[in-house]
Chain A
Amino acid sequence: MAKKFQVVIDRERCKGCELCRSFCPKQLIEMDTQVNAKGYCPAKMTRSDECVGCTSCALVCPDCAIEIFAEEE
Chain B
Amino acid sequence: MKPVFTVTKGMLPVSTSYCPGCTHGVAHRLIMETLDEMGLLGKALGVAPIGCSVVAHQFMNVDMCEAAHGRAPAVASGIRRVHPDKVVFTYQGDGDLASIGMGEIVHAAARGEKFSTFFINNGIYGMTGGQMAPTTLIGQRSTTSVDGRTREQAGMPLKISELLATLDGPAYIERVALDSPAHIRAAKKAIRKAFEVQLAGLGFSFVEILSTCPTNWGLTPPKAMEWLRENMIAYYPLGVYKDAEVK
Q: Is B247 on the interface with A (CB-CB < 8 A)?
A: no
Q: A23-B180, A68-B4, A70-B2 are in contact. Are A62 and B24 (CB under 8 A)?
A: yes
- Find A67's partner among B3, B22, B214 (CB 8 Å cutoff): B3
Binding stretch for chain A, among B41-49, B155-163, B219-227: B219-227
**Which of chain B's residues has its CB closest to A23's CB?**
B181
Q: Does B218 contact A (CB under 8 A)?
A: no
**For A70, what are the chain B residues with a Cβ–Cβ distance below 8 Å?**
1-4
- With both chains docked as a complex, state the minimum distance between the C-beta of B184 and any C-beta of chain A, in angstroms: 5
Which residues of chain B are within 8 angstroms of A72 by Cβ–Cβ distance? Answer: 1-2
Pick the contact of B4: A13, A23, A53, A62 (CB < 8 A).
A53
Q: Does B154 contact A (CB under 8 A)?
A: no
Residue contact A19 to B21, C-beta cutoff 8 Å: yes
Contact of A19 with B1 in the complex, beta carbons under 8 Å: no
Number of A-B contacts (CB under 8 A): 84
A59 within 8 A of B: yes
Selected contact of A17 from candidates B2, B180, B185, B221, CB within 8 Å: B221
Q: Which residue of B lies closest to A63 (CB)?
A: B25
B58 at the interface (CB under 8 A from A): no
Residues in B neighbouring A16, C-beta threshold 8 A: 20
- How would residues 21 to 48 of chain B score, 1 for a CB under 8 Å from any chain A CB and 0 otherwise? 1111110010000000000000000000
Chain B contacts for A58, CB-based, 8 A: 5
Contact of A18 with B by CB under 8 A: yes
For residue A68, which residues in chain B have a CB less than 8 angstroms away from its CB?
A: 3-6
Structural contact, A59 and B185, CB atoms closer than 8 A:
yes
14 contacts between A and B (CB under 8 A): A16-B20, A17-B21, A17-B221, A18-B21, A18-B222, A53-B4, A56-B181, A61-B25, A63-B16, A64-B7, A64-B25, A66-B5, A67-B3, A68-B3
Q: Other than the known A64-B11, A70-B3, what 13 A-B pairs have Cβ atoms closer than 8 Å?
A: A6-B1, A17-B21, A18-B220, A18-B221, A18-B222, A22-B221, A23-B180, A23-B181, A59-B5, A62-B16, A64-B25, A67-B5, A68-B6
